[in-house]
């Protein structure tokens, strides 16, 4: 049995190569009882489960096939695809993970997160997040026609790009105090997250014991899968 971790694929119709890399990977990973954890920003944008574009259908049916073959797929919301909803999870057979989720990784409790909430210095993003995670705001958005939602999503994307160009690199990275707070809250020494697009394994002391923070790599031109075997040995699979 293997546990596999990926995040930040940012799948969109413009990056068909990455989509095909992912679908090929799914076919090879679909052996029974393997777990695949997708830690957010799987899609570049998701404006509602009723968006039946050919692109969305292609990804949904690939996920469906994989779960039917026995692969357990767990998906966490990112800051771009947080509208992945009940219908998506029902149709694909994937399981939704809450924003903070602890798994037992070969005997070690390990916290999984997307990572956006760790960037506490980015106050304007956190304000935006609070607003868009409100169920009432989401309901109102989902009631709008698809065309209108597409327009709004495009405007938000442009605003987000402008924002990331004005704030400093430090502000967009995680805050160590917040990392320590969340890890202590869940009583873990190991954390795996994505979001920052700064792949690394950080070693640091936490509550007088060694701790690790593993940051997953985004899929730009290649795919990256962090694979743990049942003994807890890990390996980085690079897909081209
Ligand atoms: Mn993100």
Quick one: tokens of 124? Answer: 């304007």
Q: Residue 170: in which H helix or E strand, if any?
A: helix 169-172
Q: State residue 170's pLDDT score.
A: 82
Phi/psi of residue 216, nearest 5 degrees: -75, 155
CA of 133 to the centre of ligand 1 (A): 14
Q: Which pair of tokens denotes residue 240?
A: 């081209």
How far, in Å, CA of 117 to CA of 113, rounded?
9
Q: Tell me the pTM.
A: 0.97
Q: What pLDDT is attached to residue 167?
A: 86
Per-residue confidence band for 24, with pLDDT thresholds at 50, 70 and 90: very high
Between the CA of 145 and the centroid of ligand 1 the distance, in Å, is 26
**Per-residue confidence (pLDDT) for residue 172, from 0 to 100:** 86
| φ/ψ of residue 28, rounded to 5 | -80, -20
What domains appear along the chain, each with residue ranges and CATH number?
Answer: 3-239 (3.60.21.10)
Each residue of 221-240: pLDDT tens digit?
999 999 999 999 999 999 99
Query: Would you state the pLDDT for residue 54?
Result: 97
Neighbours of ion ligand 1 (CB under 5 A): 41, 78-79, 195
Taking residues 71-76, what's their average pLDDT?
97
Output the pLDDT for position 33.
78
CA angle (14 as vertex; 13, 18 as ends), nearest 5: 85
| CA 197 – ligand 1 centroid, Å | 8
């Amino acid at each position: 049995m293997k546990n596999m971790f990926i995040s930040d694929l940012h799948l969109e119709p413009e990056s068909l190569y990455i989509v095909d890399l992912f679908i090929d990977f799914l076919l090879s990973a679909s052996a029974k009882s393997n777990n695949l954890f997708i830690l957010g920003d799987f899609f570049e944008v998701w404006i509602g489960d009723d968006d039946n574009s050919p692109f969305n259908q292609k990804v949904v049916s690939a996920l469906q096939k994989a779960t039917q073959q026995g692969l357990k797929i767990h998906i966490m919301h990112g800051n771009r695809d947080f509208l992945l909803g009940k219908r998506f999870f029902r149709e694909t057979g994937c399981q939704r993970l809450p924003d903070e989720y602890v798994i037992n990784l070969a005997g070690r409790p390990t916290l999984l997160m997307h990572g956006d909430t760790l960037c506490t210095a980015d106050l304007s993003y956190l304000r935006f997040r609070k607003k868009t995670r409100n169920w009432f705001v989401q309901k109102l958005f989902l009631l709008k026609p698809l065309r209108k939602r597409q327009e709004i999503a495009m405007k938000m994307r442009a605003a987000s790009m402008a924002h990331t160009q004005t704030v400093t690199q430090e502000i967009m990275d995680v805050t160590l105090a917040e990392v320590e707070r969340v890890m202590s809250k869940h009583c873990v020494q190991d954390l795996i997250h994505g979001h920052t697009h700064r792949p690394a394994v950080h070693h640091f002391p936490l509550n007088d014991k060694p701790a690790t923070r593993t940051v997953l790599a985004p899929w730009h031109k290649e795919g990256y899968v962090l694979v743990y075997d049942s003994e807890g040995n890990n390996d980085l699979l690079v897909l081209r």
